[in-house]
Amino acid sequence: MPTVSHAFAFRPRPGHLDAFLKELARINAFVKRAGGRMRAWNEVSGSNPGAIGVVIENDDWKGYGAYRSKLDADPEFQKLRAEISSRKDPLAEFLASAMSEEVPS
């Protein structure tokens, strides 16, 4: 079965990079607990230099469904999501999101 990836891109707001990275670490703990694998990259060249790319992987679509069910049912994660979405001064600007399925190579 192909690996399923959910990718996000964010541009940290000036002066908020460290806080954003700490928040990603908090999110990663929830992702791991729900069964996903998360990695993040700083774009050093390309169309969005300085942007942070975050990829969450699951082994297959069934694993992704189980992961999302666990994450969406986690009251602590829902509290964090509400905290993030209610900020008047967000730590980062959301740029994009995409779902991908691994192809044989």
For the chain, the domains span 10-101
Q: What is the DSSP string of 50-77?
A: T-EEEEEEESSHHHHHHHHHHHHH-HHH
**pLDDT at site 60:** 96
Is it the case that residue 1 has pLDDT exceeding 80?
no
Which tens digit of pLDDT belongs to each residue from 47-86? 889 999 999 999 999 999 999 999 999 999 999 999 999 9
Q: What percent of the chain has pLDDT over 90?
A: 93
The CATH fold assigned to 10-101 is Alpha-Beta Plaits (3.30.70)
DSSP 8-state assignment for residue 14: T
Give dist(CA 19, CA 92) in Å, integer: 10
**pLDDT at site 104:** 84
Is it the case that residue 3 has pLDDT exceeding 80?
yes
Is it the case that residue 89 has pLDDT exceeding 90?
yes
**pLDDT at site 35:** 97
pTM, two decimal places: 0.90
